Structures are given as C-alpha cells and as structure tokens.
Amino acid sequence: MYIKELWKNTELYMHGKIELIPTEWVWKYRGADVLPVTDLMNGEVVDLDTLWKNICDEGLHEPFIMRIGIKNRKFRLESGNHRIQLFHKHGIKMIPVTVQVREECGPHVKDVMTRAHHNFDFGEEVLVLEDNVNELDKYIVPSEVFKSLSLT
C-alpha cells in the first residue's frame, strides 16, 4: 500500500532530520493507553477508522516524533501513538520518525503531544548524547540516538 509522503514537505525532512524506521521498532515504544479518538490536521476529532481513511485519502503530513529527556533520561513516542496502531494493524513496514531532544520527557511536561502515560528509561538503548547534542529542542535522526537503530 502506498501512502502519500507529505511529510517530505516538512523542514525536518529538508534538513535531513527524518529517517524511515521499522514500524515494529516504534510499536514497542507506543503509548498503549491513548484515547480511542484523535484529531485530524483540521482539528476534527475522529475515531481510528476515520483517521486511517484520512491517511489513505490525503497522505501522511507529519513524521512520528520520539522525544528524549536529557535530564530525566527518559524517552517515548510523543507524536504518532494513534497512527502507530493503524500502521501496525495494516502492515505498513516503515514509518518516518524524528527524535526531539528536550530537558525532560514524559506525561508531566507542559507541552506533551499525547496524554498517554508511557515513558521508557534510557538504559543501554540511548547512545551517549553529549557527543551529538549540544542544545535542547534539537531534532536528530533516530539512528544517531538509539543503539538498536545505529548504522555503525
């Protein structure tokens, strides 16, 4: 199945900050407790079947965002928790992902994009960030952040 790659029109893509990542990898880090409804780009609140139809008809506008918190050493799928359910269900193998670096990550921060309560510890999965991140709110390709996706 082909989905229009409208995310390629974003500044993040044009600056090389998005990678195609296996859906199954992102699936492990989803927020399983998200509400069964979400909003479209126009603000309309819809169920997941309507969201899927919208993606099939219009395309995928934005990449999925994994957020990492340097101070609290946590990470999570911040944006894309509804879409990951659909991409997983419909067998989409690869999805566009970027990583947003923040001071803190989790459902407690002011600007959360999802109300889901999931959070994951860095553990051995997150690579040493001091070498490749020198400012917050920076976006990085996932293979430079997550050991299991590292190209080296």
Question: What pLDDT tens digit does each residue of the chain (152 aa) get?
Answer: 889 999 999 999 999 999 999 999 999 999 999 888 998 889 899 999 999 999 999 999 999 999 999 889 999 999 999 999 999 999 999 999 999 999 899 999 988 888 789 999 999 898 866 555 556 668 999 999 999 998 65
The pLDDT assigned to 134 comes to 57
Question: CA 83 to CA 87: how far, in whole Å?
Answer: 6
Question: CA 84 to CA 86: how far, in whole Å?
Answer: 5
The pLDDT assigned to 1 comes to 83
* Four-residue CA torsion sign, 27, 30, 35, 37: negative
Question: CA 146 to CA 124: how far, in whole Å?
Answer: 9
The pLDDT assigned to 12 comes to 96
Residue 109: closest CA among 63, 64, 68: 68
The pLDDT assigned to 51 comes to 97
Instruction: Enumerate residues 6+ apart whose C-beta is below 8 A from 83.
Output: 51, 55, 60, 64, 95
The pLDDT assigned to 79 comes to 95
Question: CA 104 to CA 120: how far, in whole Å?
Answer: 12
Whole-prediction pTM: 0.92
Question: CA 107 to CA 110: how far, in whole Å?
Answer: 8
Pairing of strands 64-69, 37-39: unpaired
Q: Which domains does the chain have, with CATH numbers?
A: 22-149 (3.90.1530)
The pLDDT assigned to 41 comes to 87
DSSP string, 58-86: H---S-EEEEEETTTTEEEEEE-HHHHHH
